[in-house]
């Protein structure tokens, strides 16, 4: 049975090809992105050399259609890369570049080939504005501090806005390369209008949420493992602290949350790729659950490590700050609960 039908029917095992993709990027991030490199990229949250390395592996181009120079990989394949990226806390704009490249491939226009190729090759980053453009109202854009172009929705138009240099970093606790962009200025190009523009933007935003959810699920799994390993090396009254119910039970709850978030996110990615109108509630469900799993896992990891967990030297602190920061890049993740209700209500009527 093909993987597409397995995921649709709640079998979350990976095919041999998908496992090979996951393993290849797990090895890459394991070798090239230790936490020392993550810390060295602060406060901007971007490692230019690592980004070029990742681009050479095809992390962005793999999920582009073949006519656009890609490998035709699916959103599920790209999600597996995002999980490993989140596990390593890699300081690169993977999600933003991948989503925007896929968007540009579906809405080509004069000059957009440069930005599409730049995203795929890691030379010039284009990112996505997560909220519709409001005239005269700048918005925080993920990846905006390292990008020279942003795609956004301005009224009924999908627009590409460019700048000579990226704007200044907006400091944030997740050390993400955020920056304020005013997308209502004159230096913009219309890529699509009307229903085509709105549909392309909604699809890109959904892909961003699914891939960010995958990164959060990977982060949650990593910080869970840090906490579990710590409990094996610390003793109280002659026994490992992991043998105590007050420590073991919260870690077990985190394991359940991580597995649920990972599976839900993979399912959302499959439906978004193959049957986008069948289960529209899965995208906000995946994002909300992954955000909850990541922040819970990070909080439990901090408490398991006690006083050491709250120090800046602890790797758990790196995960904690990014779990909090990444989960609010698009706004309060609790808003996804309202989106779930709206989409389920729409299916009833």
Q: What is the pLDDT of residues 234-245, one digit of tens each?
A: 777 777 777 778
Q: Kind and range of the H or E element at 56? A: helix 48-56
Q: How far is CA 29 from CA 53, 111, 114, 348, in A?
A: 10, 33, 28, 44
The reported pLDDT for the residue numbered 2 is: 47
- Measured between its terminal Cα atoms, the distance across the chain in Å is 34
pLDDT tens sequence across 143-162: 999 999 999 999 999 999 99
The reported pLDDT for the residue numbered 247 is: 83
What average pLDDT does the segment 170-180 reach?
A: 95
CA dihedral sign, ordered 112, 116, 117, 121? positive
What average pLDDT does the segment 108-122 reach?
A: 83
> Looking at the domain that runs over 198-348, which CATH code has it been given?
1.20.140.10
The pLDDT-based confidence of 260 (bands split at 50, 70, 90) is very high
Please report, rounded to a whole number, the percentage of residues in the chain having pLDDT higher than 70.
97
Count of beta carbons in the 10 Å neighbourhood of residue 312: 8
Q: Respond yes or no on whether the N-terminal peptide bond of residue 51 is cis (omega within 30° of 0).
A: no
* Location of structure tokens 């990593």: 222
Among 18-27, 53-62, 103-112, 273-282, whose mean pLDDT is lowest? 103-112
Mean residue pLDDT of the chain comes to: 91
d(CA 61, CA 83): 17
Among candidate residues 106, 91, 103, the one with its CA nearest the CA of residue 129:
103
d(CA 284, CA 41): 30
């Amino acid at each position: 049975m093909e993987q597409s039908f397995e995921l649709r029917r709640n079998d979350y095992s990976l095919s041999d090809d998908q496992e090979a993709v996951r393993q290849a990027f797990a090895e890459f991030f394991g070798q090239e992105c230790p936490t020392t490199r993550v810390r060295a990229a602060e406060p901007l949250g971007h490692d230019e050399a690592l980004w070029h390395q990742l681009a050479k592996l095809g992390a962005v181009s793999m999920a582009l259609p073949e006519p656009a120079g890609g490998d035709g990989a699916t959103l599920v394949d790209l999600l597996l890369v995002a999980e490993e990226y989140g596990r390593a806390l890699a300081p690169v704009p993977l999600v933003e570049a991948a989503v925007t490249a896929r968007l540009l491939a579906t809405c080509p226009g004069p000059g957009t080939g440069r930005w599409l190729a730049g995203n795929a090759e890691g030379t010039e980053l284009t990112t996505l504005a997560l909220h519709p453009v409001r005239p005269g109202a700048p918005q925080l854009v993920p990846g905006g501090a390292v990008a020279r172009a942003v795609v956004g929705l301005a009224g009924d138009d999908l627009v590409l806005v460019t700048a000579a240099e990226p704007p200044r970093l907006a400091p944030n606790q997740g050390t993400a390369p955020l920056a304020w962009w005013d997308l209502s200025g004159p230096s913009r190009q219309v890529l699509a209008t009307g229903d085509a523009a709105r549909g392309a933007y909604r699809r890109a935003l959904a892909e961003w949420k699914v891939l960010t959810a995958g990164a959060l699920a990977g982060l949650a799994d990593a910080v869970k493992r840090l906490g579990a390993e710590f409990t094996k090396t610390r003793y109280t009254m002659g026994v490992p602290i992991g043998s105590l119910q007050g420590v073991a039970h919260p870690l077990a709850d985190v394991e359940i949350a991580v597995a649920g978030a990972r599976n839900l996110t993979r399912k959302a990615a499959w439906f978004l790729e193959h049957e986008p109108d069948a289960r529209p509630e899965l995208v906000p469900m995946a994002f909300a659950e992954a955000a909850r799993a990541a922040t819970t896992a990070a909080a439990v990891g901090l408490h398991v490590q006690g006083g050491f967990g709250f120090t800046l030297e602890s790797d758990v602190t790196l995960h904690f700050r990014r779990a909090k920061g990444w989960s609010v890049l698009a706004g309060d993740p609790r808003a996804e609960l309202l989106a779930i209700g709206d989409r389920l209500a729409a299916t009833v009527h």
